[in-house]
Every structure is written in C-alpha cells, then in structure tokens.
Amino acid sequence: MVGIGFRKDFADQFLNSTTLHPDFIEVSPENWIGVGGYWKKMLYKALDKYPLFTHGLSLSLGSPDELDLPFLKKTKQFLKDTGARLFSEHLSYAKCDNAHLYDLLPMPFTEEAIRHVSQRIRQVQDVLGDRIAIEIVSYYTPVAPEMDEIEFVNGVLELADCRLLLDVNNVYVNSFNHHYDAKAFIDALPLDRIRYIHMAGHEQVEEDLILDTHGQPIANPVYDLFGHVMSKLNDEVPVLLERDFNIPELSELQQELDRLASIKAIKRNTYAIAG
C-alpha cells in the first residue's frame, strides 16, 4: 500500500478528481478533532474512499510535562470514530513547561530519557489498548547526548515494546547532518518492529545542514535508501508520502506514489522468483 498525507491545501482537488489515487490516507488527529462544518464533510468524504492511518503531533511523548490524558482520550475517540488502522507519534517533545511549541524538538539521548519516554509510550499504549508506532524524527542539533542516536532509539523501542515508524527521509537527513552511515543505521534497527514507512522531500540549506521540509519531491538518495529498506523487509509495509508545502500538481504526487509502489513491486517480484 502507498498512501498520501491528506492536506487541506489539496483536499478539494483530490476528492473531485482521480488524478491522485493512493491506497490510503493519513491525517493528524489534532487537525480534525472537534472539527465540524466544511472540513468534517471533506474528511468523511475522504474516509468513504480511503482507509485511514493517523499520525499524532502534540502528545509530546518525550516531554518532562505530564501526559495530556484528556487529549489522549479525545484522540482515542477520534481513532474509533474514523476507524483508523494505526496511530503513530514522534520520538520527541512538542510541549514543555506547560506550553505547546507546535514543533518537534530533539530529545537528549540519555538513559534517563529512554526510561522516561518509554514509560510514557507504554502509558499511551495502555490507554489506547494497542501498540503505537513511534517515528524517529529529524534533528538539527544533538542535546546533551550520552549515547548515539541508534542506541537511544533501540533502547526506547525495546523498553516501550512499541512499533517503529521508519521515516526514511529523516534517517537520510540525520545521517547527513550528524555524519553517519544511513544504511548502517537502518541495519542496526529492529526491522521486525517496522509497521509503517514515511517518505518525504528535504532541502539542503547550508553546506552541512539539510532541513526536513516536506516541501520538495523525494530526493534520489532517499529512494535508494528506501530500496535498501525494502530489501530487508519481508512484509507488505504501508508507505506514506508526506508533502506539506509547495504542493505541486497532483499528477506529480501520483508519479511519486507510482515510483514508491514500483520499488516495492521489485521487492515482491524478487521474492516471488526466489520463492
């Protein structure tokens, strides 16, 4: 399955043509909870056609603040109302000192942080009654690290016993910004935990810095890395294209979906031949 992030900027055109025809869509519950009127109609029009995956933004799993349980319960209700197939969130924090920042800030890679965030992921899983998928975020600076990113990520996955949302672009961006080998990083992940894949575009803004903008087409080296990931995975993991800015013609987004699907198909065919 290849899906697209359902965005208000192209919702109307998307729902009124067949140019862009993904296998599923993804939304952030934050943008739709408690919403009625025009946008609720549009969302339900989309849900009539496509299965839904969800991607939370503001649970702030890594935050020193208390978990927002009332909001988590609203999220649970939203997942139920929409029949969502999966809930995912980020390995980061977006709220601190009781203030939301509406952006994903990097976690300190420490033992203590592993324990803290894992306990909160477990708490969320308990409330939702299901395992969630956690996304490794892109980051532009380390914060008081005591270990490597891979150790941190694997520590959390193990202790929280959660699933992994592998954003291949994020791994690429991080490997560039923090000078490591992206393939080796992926090889060191517990691949059996991968439940969902994100793909997106980025932009190099400085000689030594790439920003995870979601404003460009997927870059070729990220397709290569995706091919590497697919060569390792046995199952039919859903892949999502995230595009938030600089929205192109929908036909261009469809071309990106087609390319992702064809990379997955090579994988399937290889297995079919091997089998």
Partner 1 sequence: MPSPVSTISQHQSALARYCRTGSYEPIPGVRHRHVIRYRELVYNVVEDILQSAYPLTYELLSSAEWNDLVDRFLSEHSCRSPQVWRMPKELYDFVKKEGTPLLSQYPFLLELLYFEWLEVELFMMEDKKASHTSKGDAASDALVLNPEHILQHFHYPLHRKTAAQISDEDKGDYFLVMFRHPGSGSVQFMDLSPALVYLVEQLAIAPVRVTELAKEVCDALNVPFQDDTLSDILTFINRCLDNKLILGFKA
By the rule CB under 8 A, 46 interacts with partner 1: no
By the rule CB under 8 A, 116 interacts with partner 1: yes
Distance CA 202, CA 8 (A): 21
Question: At 195, phi and psi to the nearest 5?
Answer: -115, -15
Nearer to partner 1, 33 or 266 (CB): 33
Residue 176 binding result from partner 1, Fe ion, none, given CB thresholds of 5 to 8 Å by partner type: none
By the rule CB under 8 A, 100 interacts with partner 1: yes
Give the CA radius of gyration of the chain. Answer: 18
Minimum CB separation from partner 1 for residue 141, in Å?
Answer: 4
Residue 96 binding result from partner 1, Fe ion, none, given CB thresholds of 5 to 8 Å by partner type: partner 1
Provide the greatest CA pair distance for the chain: 56
Find the binder of Fe ion among 167, 218, 256, 260 (CB under 5 A): 167
Find the binder of partner 1 among 110, 123, 125, 216 (CB under 8 A): 110
With beta carbons less than 8 A apart as the criterion, state whether 273 and 36 touch.
no
SS3 at position 245 = coil
CA distances from 195 to 41, 74, 208, 237 (A): 29, 24, 31, 6
Residue 167 binding result from Fe ion, partner 1, none, given CB thresholds of 5 to 8 Å by partner type: Fe ion
**Stretch of 67-75, 95-103, 194-202, 250-258 lying at the interface with Fe ion (CB under 5 A):** 194-202
Q: How many CB atoms lie within 10 A of CB 18?
A: 8
Residues near Fe ion, by CB under 5 A: 167, 198
